[in-house]
Amino acid sequence: MANYVTIDETAHYVPEKVVTNDELAALMPTSDAWIQSHTGIKTRHIALEQNTSDLAAKVATKLLQQANLAATDIDLIIVSTITPDYLTPATACLMQDKVGATNAVCFDISAACAGFIFAASTAEKFLRRGQFKHALVISAETNSKMMDWQDRTTTVFFGDGAGGALLSQTADASKESFLAEQLENDGRQHEVIESGAVKLLSTISATHRPEIAPFKMQGRAVFDFATTAVPKQIQQLLTQQHLTADDVDLFVCHQANLRIIEGIAAKLMQPMTKFPVNVSEYGNTSSAGVPMALDQALQHQFTGKIIVLSGFGGGLAYGSLLIRL
């Protein structure tokens, strides 16, 4: 018997603390006018006394409540993050404990801002085989803890948040959510986005303590990559399915910055009304941006619509999913 996979629920969460551009301007040489003109970002939410697993658990709890499922009904948890609580254990394991999903297999995926796309694609394969029934796919980021708060070239872009989806296996072909996908990487450009580099040993010393580097990004290279490779990938995905961009009801892209989203829309020759945007309020929330924007868009009831999800970021990793909801 064939197995199909449906996206049953979506949810998102942001921490309470809001930081304005003017507040950042008090910490570094920048201004509200510069940030808005270059990024479209007005505010961002910052996690204080909350870690990535805490944000992920908030989303998981919402998903379970919306679906009327017990935590023990979950078979699989995948968390995409580049800001884990620890290098080990996996943030998914910590989240499992926080929500009581004791029956779930848990692991993390690190694909930067393409993380939700890669994680959803992975979960879909697990469910398709029939062994697993329900999966939580959650992207959660506390980017603020990895920022150099005097670096205006990166810090002004980023915020904290989490978003995710509940995926389920079904025997009903009419409920299939996953239509096609395209995942790609370009490791030759790995230096364009980096975070958490650990300083190497030069000698053995009793006083040695690990040192970890803050987030850094080559903004112009990211912009050029995103506005060139991403629309090309989306177009290839649609062509393979005998569709055009006009056939798509909604393009939910990584919320990198408003100018990049506008650039992708222009390349696809589609109106910005098809591109939900939350970056002005939340900033760049890395892998959480796509599921957060999807959840917000679905509040407007896009039932039965064709949607493209597209994430792109460090690695360089980029991927697109063609789904029907």
The string of DSSP letters for 150-170 reads T-TTTGGGB--EEEEEEEEEE
Cβ proximity of 318 and 184 under 8 Å: yes
Torsion of CA 270, 272, 275, 281, to 10 degrees: 160
Cβ proximity of 308 and 32 under 8 Å: no
Out of 113, 143, 253, 257, the active site residue is 113
SS3 32: helix
- Would you give the DSSP letter of residue 286? G
145: number of Cβ within 10 Å = 15
Q: Where are the alpha helices (DSSP H) in the chain?
A: 21-25, 32-39, 52-67, 91-99, 115-128, 219-240, 258-268, 279-282, 289-298
Residue in the structure block whose two tokens are 């926080």: 98
Out of 12, 45, 134, 254, the active site residue is 254
Q: Which two tokens stand for residue 259?
A: 């100018």
The verdict on whether 106 is a catalytic residue reads no
Give the pairing type, strands 306-313 and 317-324.
Answer: antiparallel
Which residues are catalytic, by number?
A: 113, 254, 284
